[in-house]
Amino acid sequence: MSSLVSAGAIRAARERLAGVLQAVPTYRSDTLSRLTGRDVLIKPEFRQRTGSFKIRGAFNLISRLPPGREVVAASAGNHAQGVALAAALTGRAATIFMPEGASLPKINATRGYGATVRLEGVILDDAIAVARSYAESSGAKFVPPFDDLDVIAGQGTLGLEVLDEAPDAEVILVPVGGGGLLAGVGAAVASAYPPGVSTRRPSVIGVEAAGAPTMSAALAAGRPVPLTSVSTMADGIAVGCVSETTLAHAEEFVETVITVDEEEISRAILLGVERLKAVVEPAGAVGLGALASGRVPGTGPVVVVLSGGNVDPMLLAKLIDHGLSAAGRYLTLRVVVGDRAGSLASVTADLARLGLNVLDVEHHRNGRPIGVGQVEIQVTVETRDRDHHAEVIAALEAAGHHATEVP
């Protein structure tokens, strides 16, 4: 059986990280508490140095190496930045291998922390293979993103902070990719509630993308299961397989794992921007998606770990647009009218009377299933939510228009 991180190792990691981490205290969200009917607390780790929790595990491992020893890692983003900063803070060289399609802002940020960045391979697995080969040939220390007890201990310091900042929490929601953060938080929480203590410890629940259910698959099988495909916008947790070590921690310390689909992740990002004034990357927002979906057990206080905020601005615009669509904030209608002067004006006038902002209009006479003397108008408007869609269609029908929603 794989070794488990000890309570002492997590406490020692906390001491090493003193003065390194930025304080990001847990706070209560009045808005989310009203929306969900239970106390919701936010751990805003996206405000941490490098924009995610990764500096915790990276620094805890790297600071224990002999002075001057080079470190090497492979990552498409957050782990790269955590290793780069940890190396800079400990005065050593860092070489980071990233796939050729890595986000330019993440490449530049990693270089900005002083690391040498090398672009290798099409996918992350290619970069990992090259990084391991480089470490073997150069003597550099390969820093894994999650499969290491020092890394897990570092991530566990987040769990200790949550216990201090939200002592009444009933549930702690933790994003899951490779499982390092989940393992660390689970171990930290368990360490504060040893056997024989009557107080009920908080349930640690993992949340992963439905398109990359690595931990769910491993827990069901009782062993790490390499996924045949991974498909999710949450690239920070798009991992093909957990490790024996992180699985062992999940089996020992974690209550359950919830999966969220792409629409739930999109809506969570939008919820973060609109209600929390927070820019959170898809991987960091999955816990918020689980909470908003109503699938988190219990009625007591819940802590949502927003684990990262490193998202390309151009991608963020697409994600917000996708989130608006998923939340029913756009409605595209097909309206068939007579091919005569004033027909389009009549439709738009009725939309205006309903207080709807028109985003796009298309006018078609050919190639559509319409009768002679008819035209099809396809119009997209802004709406409040999906319930509003039915209200708009009913109002247009009452005004004499034949309107149907375009999926």
- In DSSP notation, 104-134 reads HHHHHHHHHTT-EEEE-SSSHHHHHHHHHHH
Q: Please, which residues bridge with residue 205 across strands? A: 173, 256
User: In the block, which residue shows the tokens 């963020």?
Assistant: 316
User: Within 13 Å of residue 194, how many CA atoms lie on the same side as its CB?
Assistant: 2
Q: Residue 124: which residues within 8 A CB-CB, separation 6 or more?
A: 74, 75, 76, 99
Active-site residue set = 54, 307
Q: How far apart are CA 304 and CA 28, in angstroms?
A: 10
| Plot region of 298 (φ>0 → left; ψ -120 to 50 → alpha; else → beta) | left
Q: Please, which residues bridge with residue 198 across strands? A: none
Helix H segments across 192-342? Answer: 214-221, 244-253, 262-271, 286-292, 313-326
Picking from 229, 215, 207, 363, the residue whose alpha carbon sits closest to that of residue 287 is 207
Q: Which amino acid is at 211?
A: G
| Plot region of 93 (φ>0 → left; ψ -120 to 50 → alpha; else → beta) | beta
User: In the block, which residue shows the tokens 């998923």?
Assistant: 326
Side by side, the strands of the sheet bearing 402-405 are 358-364, 374-382, 330-338, 402-405
